[in-house]
């Protein structure tokens, strides 16, 4: 009796499990074939994909151009595609080998080893050209094709600025819940401009060569190879950046040649308030998250570059008397420690005397405790520098990914502490600003006090070159410095270079006249050989009389005697001049 009951239970369990399996099978094959699981996987499409060999020529994603219309991403190079089934055919191998400039044996070897279509590019055939593609296609034999393929490497130029794409099905579905037609393997932007402009760059349709195979990899329907492409004159879209490809390349070459391992440089077009070149180091490596950080958009201790703010406040508030001198044998706290002698205000700025600016800051703070942050705002140093505004349904679209804003005071109580005021005056304590903000401050001074947002993208255009949307120039709101203050700042910034004791005297023999300010900030870190590490800056603009460019160079975590800041700044200015006259 007990045995009979157990048998019934076993049979019942078996039937229940069998029923559940039938339900699951029905879900898979009948009800949810095109939207299976939370990821909305198209099972029919995936089944077809398993029986299809394909060569992706272009993923259909939008691309980036430089300011001259040259491709920064989505570049196409000639390539030859050989399908594996050619090995069993009597195909014109000799003609193909002659066109490609390689032996028949080499082609046969490539095919014998192949389990998937073989792609021959300039990496394997140096002389591959447009003519090669044309001649291969003139053979008109199924299985060998000349095409133009997008480079599959990540962009090596401006990698931090342009950013990266990756496959992330969960992020794709959460970010675009209404775009169920996007395959789960679609790449989306994760950093840089790829991230901020991702919605405009999403592919409409990719371009492929494909053919169907049986279980052994042989052609299922003969040697019929299908070409699929987007027949649309408007998509994919292109983002025309303000970057200059030649200048960007030169800046990266200079930074690397000099050996700057951490930090970078940013160059602005002052009139257009746009980025011509932006370099961050270390190089971006997708396998190392820390390398993806763009230091040009991160707040960093500015050191004496921040004395520009104190100088502006002193000029505006008329805090310096005619012929007044400062005892620069004293350190920032007013104690014996330096040996620069008695200096005027202009000399103090040129030689970066700490005591002058800490004493001025203390005097100014007694009259107005908000004077430092107010002047920082007037100089565009505490607002995000990058372009932001309304773009279609986004009310707060930002061109720069993960751009941060500067900070002056960490604790309002510090405004009543003498040593805290002194440290703040020389760009230490809690003062942190981004190199892009500093570059924008220099551009603001060079323009006579006019504050503008900085652009990295000029417009978005359709595939046929017509404009979809323009990014208009936008001013930064709030108060600005007056014309007189700007002129006086221009004078002292120039004296940093022209003075024989100035901290920028190295730049005197450049083909452009440079104005600017150096900066050295302690990091609180030590090197392996027990040397103090600093953040070393030089920020300026040129030509001094008729400013066109603002440039900031930053070398991070470096011993003072090993800093490459001035060498990099020097070489970039020289290269910009060469680029302009050629």
Percentage of the chain surpassing pLDDT 90? 65
Of 427 and 169, more confident:
427
pLDDT of residue 52: 66
Task: Compute the average pLDDT of residues 507-515.
Answer: 98
Do 472 and 546 reside in the same domain of the chain?
yes
| pLDDT higher than threshold 60 for residue 28 | no
pLDDT at 47: 45
Higher pLDDT, 195 or 581: 195
Mean pLDDT, to the nearest integer, of 165-172?
Answer: 87
Clarify whether residues 332 and 424 are in a common domain.
Answer: yes
**Average pLDDT for 545-553:** 97
Q: Per residue in 365-378, pLDDT tens?
A: 999 999 999 999 99
Average pLDDT over residues 546-574: 97
Mean pLDDT of the chain: 89
pLDDT at 54 over 60: yes
pLDDT tier, 45 (very low <50, low <70, confident <90, very high otherwise): very low
Answer whether residue 432 shows pLDDT above 60: yes
Domain at 191, CATH number: 3.90.1310
Residue 43 has pLDDT above 60, yes or no: no
Domain membership of residue 218 (yes or no) is no
Judge if 172 and 104 occupy the same domain: no
Examine the domain organization and report whether 182 and 317 are in the same domain.
no
pLDDT computed for residue 153 by the predictor = 59
pLDDT given for residue 161 in this prediction: 97
Higher pLDDT, 343 or 170: 343
Q: Identify the DSSP state of 483.
A: H
How far out from the chain centre does Cα 141 lie? 44
In a domain, 1, yes or no: no
> 10 Å Cβ neighbour count for 519?
28
Alpha helices in 458-514 (DSSP H): 483-498
The answer to the question of residue 34 being in a domain is no
Please report whether residue 200 resides in a domain.
yes
Reply yes or no on whether the pLDDT at 176 is more than 80.
yes
d(CA 118, CA 107): 10
**pLDDT above 70 for 115:** yes
On whether residue 7 sits in a domain, the answer given is no
Q: Same structural domain for residues 406 and 448?
A: yes
| CATH code for position 135 | 3.90.1310.10
- What is the CATH classification number for the domain harbouring 415? 3.40.710.10
557 vs 119, which has greater pLDDT? 557
Average the pLDDT over 271-297 and give the result: 93
Question: What is residue 15's predicted lDDT score, i.e. its pLDDT?
Answer: 77
Domain contains 13? no
Residue 297 phi/psi, 5° resolution?
Answer: -115, 10
Closest CA to 431 of 414, 406, 465: 406
Catalytic residues: 304
The pLDDT value given to residue 302: 98
298 in the same domain as 175? no
Domain span at 190? 56-73+159-208+224-236
Q: Are residues 374 and 451 in the same domain?
A: yes
Residue 213: per-residue pLDDT? 63
Which spans in 317-432 are helix H?
345-351, 354-367, 371-378, 418-425
* 193 and 315, same domain (yes or no): no
Same domain flag for 268 and 397: yes
pLDDT at 27: 58
pTM: 0.86
State how many domains the chain has.
3
Can you give the pLDDT at residue 3?
62
Residues 195 and 331 grouped into a single domain: no
Predicted confidence (pLDDT) per residue in 440-476, tens digit: 999 999 999 999 999 999 999 998 999 999 999 999 9
Q: Is residue 318 part of a domain?
A: yes
186-240 pLDDT, tens digit each: 889 999 999 999 999 998 777 887 777 665 555 554 556 676 766 677 888 999 9
Same domain, 166 and 299: no
- Structure confidence at residue 51 (pLDDT): 54
> Sorting pLDDT into bands at 50, 70 and 90, what band is 251?
very high
DSSP 477: P
Are residues 459 and 561 both part of a single domain?
Answer: yes
Query: Is residue 168's pLDDT more than 90?
Result: no
Mean pLDDT value of segment 488-513: 98
Mean of the pLDDT values across residues 399-421? 96
307-316 and 371-378 are packed helices; what angle lies between their axes, rounded to 10 degrees? 100
In a domain, 87, yes or no: yes
Q: In which residue are the tokens 């104190």 written?
A: 310
Write phi, then psi, for 76 (nearest 5 degrees).
Answer: -110, 135
């Amino acid at each position: 009796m007990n045995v009979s009951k157990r048998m019934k239970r076993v049979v019942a369990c078996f039937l229940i499990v069998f029923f559940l399996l039938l339900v699951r099978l029905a879900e898979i094959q009948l009800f949810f074939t095109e939207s299976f699981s939370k990821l909305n996987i198209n099972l029919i499409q995936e089944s077809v994909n398993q029986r299809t060999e394909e060569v992706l020529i272009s993923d259909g994603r939008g691309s980036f151009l430089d300011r001259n219309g040259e491709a920064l991403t989505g570049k196409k190079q000639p390539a030859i595609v050989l399908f594996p089934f050619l090995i069993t055919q009597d195909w014109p191998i000799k003609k193909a080998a002659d066109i490609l400039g390689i032996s028949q044996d080499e082609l046969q070897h490539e095919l014998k080893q192949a389990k998937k279509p073989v792609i021959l590019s300039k990496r394997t055939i140096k002389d591959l050209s447009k003519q090669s593609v044309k001649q291969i296609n003139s053979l008109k034999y199924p299985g060998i094709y000349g095409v133009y393929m997008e480079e599959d490497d990540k962009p090596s130029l401006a990698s931090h600025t342009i950013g990266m794409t990756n496959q992330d099905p969960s992020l794709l579905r959460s970010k675009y819940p209404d775009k169920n037609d996007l395959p789960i393997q679609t790449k989306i932007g994760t950093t840089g401009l790829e991230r901020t402009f991702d919605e405009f760059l999403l592919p409409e349709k990719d371009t492929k060569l494909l053919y169907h195979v049986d279980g052994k990899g042989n052609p299922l329907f003969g040697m019929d190879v299908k070409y699929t492409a987007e027949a649309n004159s408007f998509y994919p879209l292109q983002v025309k950046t303000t970057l200059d490809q030649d200048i960007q390349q030169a800046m990266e070459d200079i930074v690397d040649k000099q050996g700057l391992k951490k930090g970078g440089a940013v160059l602005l077009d002052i009139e257009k308030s746009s980025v011509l070149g932006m370099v961050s180091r270390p190089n971006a490596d997708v396998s190392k998250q820390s390398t993806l950080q763009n230091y040009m958009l991160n707040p960093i201790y500015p050191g004496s570059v921040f004395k520009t703010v104190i100088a502006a406040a002193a000029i505006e508030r008329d805090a310096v008397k005619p012929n007044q001198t400062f005892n620069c044998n004293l350190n920032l706290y007013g104690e014996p420690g330096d040996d620069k002698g008695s200096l005027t205000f202009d000399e103090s700025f040129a030689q970066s005397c700490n005591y002058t600016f800490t004493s001025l800051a203390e005097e100014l703070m007694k009259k107005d405790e908000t004077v430092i942050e107010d002047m920082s705002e007037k100089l565009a140093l505490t607002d995000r520098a990058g372009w932001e505004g309304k773009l279609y349904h986004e009310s707060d679209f930002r061109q720069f990914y993960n751009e941060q804003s500067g900070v002056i005071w960490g604790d309002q109580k510090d405004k009543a502490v003498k040593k805290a005021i002194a440290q703040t005056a020389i760009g230490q304590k809690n003062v942190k600003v981004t190199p892009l903000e500093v570059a924008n401050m220099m551009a603001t001074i060079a323009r006579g006090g006019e504050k503008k947002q900085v652009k990295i993208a000029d417009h978005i255009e359709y595939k046929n070159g017509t404009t979809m949307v323009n990014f208009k120039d936008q001013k930064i709101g709030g108060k600005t410095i007056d014309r007189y203050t700007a002129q006086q700042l221009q004078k002292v910034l120039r004296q940093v270079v022209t003075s024989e004791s100035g901290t920028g005297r190295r730049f005197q023999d450049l083909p452009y006249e440079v104005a600017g300010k150096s900066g050295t900030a302690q990091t609180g870190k030590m090197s392996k050989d027990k040397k103090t590490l600093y953040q070393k800056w030089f920020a300026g603009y040129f030509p001094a009389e008729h400013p066109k460019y603002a440039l900031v160079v930053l070398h991070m975590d470096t011993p003072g005697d090993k800093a490459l800041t001035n060498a990099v700044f020097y070489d970039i200015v020289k290269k910009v001049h060469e680029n302009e006259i050629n």
